[in-house]
């Protein structure tokens, strides 16, 4: 009967203005969920993009390490201990520190990551960095992240026009700057806490931050020999090395960083809470729509009951309406979200990207949201008695 008479659709479409307003409300909630998930994923993706681009198989960090921004260093001698293992092919130190980049055009200072590497042992799996390793061998020559936010000034444009680009780098809480020259470009991108990145020779980072010593590093990168078992080497290193360091695989290191932002920071909690709030708002909106629709057609439902139709048939009609609202509200919400993702990505330079996981997650959430509303709204329908109405 449901297939022969599309009662759910006919009831919804009968009052076109109300139907359109209902779809607009659901589309708004869908957009809200898409944007919350988009910015949440952009937070995690941008916070771990350095980790994802690192070369190597294992990564050694301080046992006091909380996140890449916490700057917990450990003795460089730990890396030399690692070289004693047969399965280790090479090691590479990475120095990471916040600084301020002085815009050469207007003098404004903006936060930037300074990543210090040894050019003899490339730490990043980034083609532009690999091509410019010889540049980093010269003192005070640095590579600038061309995906950085525009607050740093026309660095990229000037460099591409073969103009000499000299900039001043300040320790984050310091007042004395250090002059460096842009010798090349690479692409990495900003994060929620940092506007851009610089890659420098480890000797240059020690000149910029004079309170640093070369024997204290932030990340130790370990490359294993072909055929070496990553998990076995991780266990062997963890057993031998002192407890002032921790050994991670790449996947564990990325998961550890994401866990910090999602669980141990307020921003991760806020994003999660906003997704839940969006779902609750959607349930309330759809409940009002379905409850109002049931109330307006209560006589028709009572007539169907008097004709012998069971509650199950009428409940199926309500849940069909919930499904129709979910799907038809999802489509415009998805289209709008695609446009807003482009706007947000261009405005923030963050990786706000639509993915198949988001498409499925929001569709399932919208459907569940509408079904939940349908469940709460059928109480009036169950109690509808033809004798009372007529």
Q: How does pLDDT run along the chain (390 residues), one tens digit per residue?
A: 444 557 677 777 777 887 888 888 889 989 988 998 898 888 888 889 999 999 999 999 999 998 887 778 999 999 889 988 888 999 999 999 989 999 988 888 888 999 999 888 878 999 999 999 999 988 889 999 999 988 899 999 999 998 888 999 998 887 888 999 999 999 998 887 788 999 999 889 988 998 888 889 999 999 999 989 999 999 999 999 999 999 999 999 999 998 888 888 787 788 778 888 888 888 888 888 877 777 776 777 767 766 766 667 777 778 888 888 889 999 999 999 999 999 998 888 888 899 999 999 999 988 998 888 888 877 666 666 665 555
C-alpha distances in Å from residue 81, one per residue of 227, 231, 241, 246 = 21, 18, 8, 14
pTM of the model: 0.80
How much is the pLDDT for 3? 45
- Cβ neighbours of residue 332 under 8 Å, at least 6 residues apart? 23, 24, 27
Residue 1: the pLDDT is: 42
Residue 172: its pLDDT value, please?
A: 81
Q: What is the DSSP string of 333-381?
A: HHHHHHHHHHHHHHHH-S-----HHHHHHHHHHHHHHHHHHHHHHTHHH
pLDDT at 370: 86
CA distances from 114 to 69, 120, 122, 169, 171 (A): 11, 18, 15, 9, 10
- Whether the CB-CB separation of 146 and 156 falls below 8 Å is answered with yes
pLDDT at 146: 93
SS3 content of the chain, % helix, strand, coil (to 5): 55, 20, 25
Environment class of residue 42 by beta-carbon count within 10 Å: exposed (0-12), middle (13-18) or buried (19+)?
A: buried
């Amino acid at each position: 009967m449901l297939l022969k008479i599309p009662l759910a659709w006919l009831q919804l479409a009968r009052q076109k203005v109300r139907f359109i307003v209902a779809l607009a409300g659901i589309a708004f909630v869908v957009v809200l969920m898409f944007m919350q998930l988009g910015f949440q994923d952009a937070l995690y993706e941008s916070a771990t993009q350095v980790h994802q681009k690192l070369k190597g198989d294992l990564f050694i960090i301080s046992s006091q390490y909380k996140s890449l921004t916490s700057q917990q260093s450990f003795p460089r001698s730990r890396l030399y201990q690692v070289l004693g293992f047969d399965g280790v092919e090479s090691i590479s130190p990475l120095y990471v520190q916040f600084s301020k980049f002085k815009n050469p055009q207007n003098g404004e200072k903006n936060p930037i990551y300074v990543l210090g590497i040894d050019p003899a042992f490339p730490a990043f799996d980034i083609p532009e960095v690999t091509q410019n390793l010889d540049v980093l061998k010269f003192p005070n020559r640095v590579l600038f992240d061309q995906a950085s936010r525009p607050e740093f000034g026309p660095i990229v444009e000037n460099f591409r026009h073969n103009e000499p680009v000299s900039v001043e780098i300040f320790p984050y809480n310091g007042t004395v700057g250090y002059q460096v020259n842009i010798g090349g470009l690479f692409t990495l991108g900003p994060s929620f806490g940092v506007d851009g990145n610089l890659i420098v020779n480890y000797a240059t980072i020690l000149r910029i931050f004079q309170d640093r010593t070369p024997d204290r590093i932030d990340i130790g990168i370990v490359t294993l020999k072909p055929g070496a078992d990553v998990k076995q080497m991780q266990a062997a290193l963890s057993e031998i090395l002192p407890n002032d360091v921790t050994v991670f695989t790449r996947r564990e290191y990325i998961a550890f960083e994401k866990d910090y932002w999602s669980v141990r920071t307020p921003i991760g909690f806020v994003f999660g809470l906003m997704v839940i709030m969006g779902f609750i708002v959607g349930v309330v909106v759809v409940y009002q729509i379905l409850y109002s629709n049931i109330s307006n057609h209560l006589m028709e439902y009572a007539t169907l009951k008097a004709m012998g139709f069971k509650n199950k048939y009428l409940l199926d009609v309500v849940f069909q309406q919930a499904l129709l609202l979910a799907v038809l509200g999802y489509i415009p919400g998805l289209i709008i979200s695609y446009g807003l993702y482009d706007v947000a990505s261009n405005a923030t330079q963050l990786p706000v990207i639509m993915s198949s996981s988001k498409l499925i997650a929001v569709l399932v959430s919208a459907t569940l949201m509408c079904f939940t509303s349908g469940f709460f709204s059928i109480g009036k329908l169950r109690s509808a008695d033809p004798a009372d109405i007529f």
